[in-house]
Amino acid sequence: MNQMFKIRLQNYTIIVSFLFYLSAHSQNKVQESISNLVSNPSNKNAKISFKAIDLATGKEVASYNSFLAIPSASTTKLFPTATAFQVLGSNFVTSTRIYCKGKIGKDSVLYGDIYIRGGGDVSLGSRFFCEKGKELAFLNRWTDSLKSKGINKIQGAVICDGSEFGYAGTPKSWDWDDIGNYYGAAAEGINFFDNTIKIYFKTKGLGKNSELLEIYPKISNLSFKNEVVSGNVSGDNVIVFGANYSLNRYAHGSLPINQERFEVKGSMPDPEYQLAEEWVKVLRSRNFVVRDGAKGMRSDKTSAKVNYASDVKYLFLEKSKTVKEIAYWANFKSVNLFAEGLLNYVGFSQKNEGSTKASLIALENYWTNKINFEGLVLKDGCGLSKENAISATHFCDLLKFLYTSKNYSDFKSTLPIAGVSGTIKNLCKGQAGEGRIFAKSGTISKVKSYAGYVVSKSGKNLAFAITVNNFSGSNSQIITDIEKVLNELANY
């Protein structure tokens, strides 16, 4: 062996050894950062699950209690959004279909009923896809389409039918003080206007009772109890209570003083019936006659079910937004209704039933033999349920699978970017993780969670998940602790 070769071999050995040292040192820094989080006195009673993996090799970068399955709040949304991409595809759309039953006379009179058949579309009239104030513009389009079919008088009713997806309402494990609020609206066979109502209050001096000004859309026969007062608060501190399909609503809490028109959002009691009523309002405003008004298939017991293959005539449809578009808002702005809707799409496509229960079974069936479901508990699609239990390993397995999927690019594009956008635009701002972390966040009382992808400074692609339950410090403190871990992943 000549001297020059020996020198080159020695240099190569030194370089390789140095690279191994850097890799091990980086790994130790990640592990050290999670150890520091765990040892923080404010986390001594906390439950923590963490894992990070190198997606190129599948090897673990660092971990702590990675198999501990605990509630992860809105990070749960990764499961239904990922499943919708895999099962349905990025460009899948559903639709709301319009039919008529009865004969259309030469006098442009329909001697029968109009049927609105829901397909579970959660994007219809949504503020995330419509210009503000024009969310219900589709009803004028529908009216134009009806006229083009030679109908301007209905000797019957407008009947809304969301029965294909059932009437189970919200998942059974949701808290009572969630389901009356806008973020607690159920995903149904018929959805529109984000299944919300806008409640407007006028407030006076400190401690004074507020005045209820308006509820939009107007809900017929709604009983609304107002216990909202003016308080020393800067924003909305009101909880709206109300059960699925109930026409009793109760608002309690406080709003800032001396507000002329303060908006609070609640869940819509019965979107199926309400859509029929809103269309009847538009039809009548445009000189249509609708003899029997609006009806909902669930609420009106006289509305007989029809065979859509033989009993009625198809008129037109309204297509939904795509899975990719809906999943974007589900993850980017953490829209609960959209996550639940995507879950229901999966269930309906696989089991011909869009209930939460059937849809969760369909989700698990898809992932069986793809990722390890042992210990994983899902009770909803959005993460409101405190009975959900997901480990860091479950998340990393999901993220790893998506990384090798043809849907990876579309799925990743739905995730907010740390320090830049969405629900994590302030996370790692001005730090190493800014622009390098693509992740879903999750927050409910004493739960903080993040899961997603990291493109490290060395060019490595990582997947990670971290969930902390029952921390005793402030939200800002636990975020600071987690940022230190994420920054080390970015430096890896």
For 329-345, how does the pLDDT look when each residue is reduced to its tens digit (9 = 90+)? 999 999 999 999 999 99
Nearest of 212, 191, 214 to residue 274 by alpha carbon: 191
And the tokens for 139? 């009803």
Whether 342 contacts 329, CB under 8 Å: no
- CB-based burial, 6-26: b 16+ in 10 Å, e otherwise: eeeeeeeeeeeeeeeeeeeeb
* 262 & 215 share domain: yes
The SS3 of residue 25 is: helix
* 309 & 275 share domain: yes
CA angle 300, 177, 295 (to 5 degrees): 10
Beta-carbon count within 10 A of 32 CB: 15
Asked if the structure places residue 481 within a domain, the reply is yes
Dump strand ranges (E) for 14-84: 47-54, 60-64
**How big is the chain, counted in residues?**
492
Nearest of 343, 465, 335 to residue 395 by alpha carbon: 465
* 256 & 355 share domain: no
| pLDDT lower than 50: segments of the chain | 1, 5-7, 9, 11-25
The DSSP secondary-structure symbol of 154 reads E
Q: Which helix (H) or strand (E) holds 323?
A: helix 323-332
> pTM score > 0.75 for this model?
yes
The SS3 of residue 95 is: strand
Domain that holds residue 302: 95-319
Asked if the structure places residue 382 within a domain, the reply is yes
Asked if the structure places residue 11 within a domain, the reply is no
The SS3 of residue 330 is: helix
Q: Which helix (H) or strand (E) holds 13?
A: helix 3-39
* 285 & 338 share domain: no
Asked if the structure places residue 135 within a domain, the reply is yes
Domain final position from 269, 286, 319? 319
* 11: phi then psi, degrees, rounded to nearest 5: -65, -40
Nearest of 333, 464, 336, 321 to residue 76 by alpha carbon: 336
pLDDT on residue 27: 57
* 374 & 402 share domain: yes
And the tokens for 492? 């890896």
CATH for 64: 3.40.710.10
Cα torsion angle, 356, 98, 273, 191, sign: positive
Nearest of 160, 162, 163, 129 to residue 142 by alpha carbon: 160
* 312 & 334 share domain: no
Domain count, the chain: 2
* 170 & 57 share domain: no
Domain final position from 275, 296, 319? 319
pLDDT on residue 336: 99
Beta-carbon count within 10 A of 34 CB: 24
pLDDT on residue 305: 83
Asked if the structure places residue 19 within a domain, the reply is no
Nearest of 182, 181, 185, 187 to residue 166 by alpha carbon: 187
3-state helix, strand, coil in the chain (%, to 5): 35, 25, 40
Asked if the structure places residue 2 within a domain, the reply is no
* 226 & 104 share domain: yes
Whether 40 contacts 481, CB under 8 Å: yes
Q: Which helix (H) or strand (E) holds 81?
A: helix 78-87
Domain final position from 289, 319, 349? 319
Asked if the structure places residue 139 within a domain, the reply is yes
Whether 238 contacts 252, CB under 8 Å: yes
* 100 & 75 share domain: no
CA distances from 31 to 20, 27, 145, 234, 298 (A): 16, 6, 62, 40, 55
The SS3 of residue 141 is: helix
* 364 & 477 share domain: yes
Dump strand ranges (E) for 67-193: 95-104, 109-117, 153-154, 158-161
* 253 & 211 share domain: yes
Whether 360 contacts 343, CB under 8 Å: yes
* 73 & 174 share domain: no
pLDDT on residue 161: 97
Asked if the structure places residue 17 within a domain, the reply is no
The DSSP secondary-structure symbol of 384 reads -
